[in-house]
Amino acid sequence: MIKFFRKIRQNLLSEGKTGKYLKYAIGEIILVVFGILIALQINNWNEQRKIENKGKDYIQEIYKELKIEKSNIDLILNSLSNQYNGTEHVLSFFESENKQLKDTVQFTKNFWSTTRLFIVDRDLNTFDKLKSSGESILLKNDSLSNLLDRFYKNFDIRILNFKEFPIQVRMDLRRKSFPIGSMKDFKYENESSKLTHPYIKEYLNNSEVYELLLSILKTCQYNTLFFEELSEEALQVINYMEEKYPDLKLK
């Protein structure tokens, strides 16, 4: 192609057609510039497509992680529900008149559930990384970014709150409840007569333990409310993503 253009230029010069040569040279320059512009545009399109595909991949990962977070929150709610029910069962004996137990093993199992420590935490995820690197713009969806930012901020607040008073009160109850609160084998404890009726009756009159149980009941109520709100918020973001990106449900 270059040889072809060079031959045309040489013919024009040899024929003394300077005017035509200049016009041709200008046309050739314009053609080359136009070609360069097209090449740059194609390159820009390719780069833009790569960015868009990268953004789609991030959205897919965020969606998967969000559904995992929703499942984890529901597990927390289930744990809180079990702890609440166990605490209510134990409190019913503290508040009874005769302080009599027919099944010490069952009572101890329920009591153990009141002191259970379950970890509430979350891992660094795709949105966290995008946000810290300033690349959340790749999502090209300010509404989604705002929803995710609000959800994870609320999640972190719930985690921080849960790590303070709720865990401490459970640890205090464990220290006050030996051997009941720290036993590892219910059957062994019962057979070794550590959980005798006189011991249990005395234990059921312990006002400090009773107050700690009430505190655990309250923290279960509060945290259940907070995590139910968080679960609903996660569901709202998931529904928004499924509505905005229908292909997410197909993968």
Q: Please choose, from the candidates 144, 112, 118, the residue with its C-alpha nearest in 3D space to the C-alpha of residue 131.
A: 144
Residue 44 has a pLDDT of: 65
Residue 218's CB is within 10 A of a number of other CB atoms, namely 15
> 204 near 94, Cβ under 8 Å?
yes
Q: What is the mean pLDDT of residues 164-174?
A: 80
Residue 182 has a pLDDT of: 46
pLDDT confidence tier of residue 39, bands split at 50, 70 and 90? low
**Cβ contacts of 208 within 8 Å, gap of 6 or more:** 176
Residue 131 clears pLDDT 80, i.e. is over it = yes
Residue 186 has a pLDDT of: 45
Q: What is the mean pLDDT of residues 43-71?
A: 80
> 163 near 120, Cβ under 8 Å?
yes
Exposure string over 200-216, b if 16+ CB within 10 A, otherwise e: beebbeeeebeebbebb
Q: How far apart are CA 103 and CA 141, in angstroms?
A: 58
pLDDT confidence tier of residue 117, bands split at 50, 70 and 90? confident
Q: How far apart are CA 17 and CA 129, in angstroms?
A: 65
Q: What is the mean pLDDT of residues 58-85?
A: 93
3-state secondary structure of 121: coil
106 compared with 75, residue with greater pLDDT: 75
36-40, 101-105, 241-245: range with highest mean pLDDT = 241-245
Q: Where does 95-185 have alpha helices with state H?
A: 104-114, 126-133, 142-162, 165-176
Residue 181 clears pLDDT 50, i.e. is over it = no
> 5 near 28, Cβ under 8 Å?
yes
Residue type, 136: S
On the CB side of 105, CA atoms within 13 Å amount to 8
Q: What is the mean pLDDT of residues 157-166?
A: 81
Residue 178's CB is within 10 A of a number of other CB atoms, namely 10
The token duo for 76 is 């927390």
pLDDT confidence tier of residue 56, bands split at 50, 70 and 90? confident
Q: How far apart are CA 53 and CA 13, in angstroms?
A: 52
Please tell me the least confidently modeled range out of 88-97, 126-135, 190-199: 190-199
Q: What is the mean pLDDT of residues 16-28?
A: 55
The chain-wide mean pLDDT, for the chain, equals 78
Residue 1 clears pLDDT 80, i.e. is over it = no
Residue 97's CB is within 10 A of a number of other CB atoms, namely 5
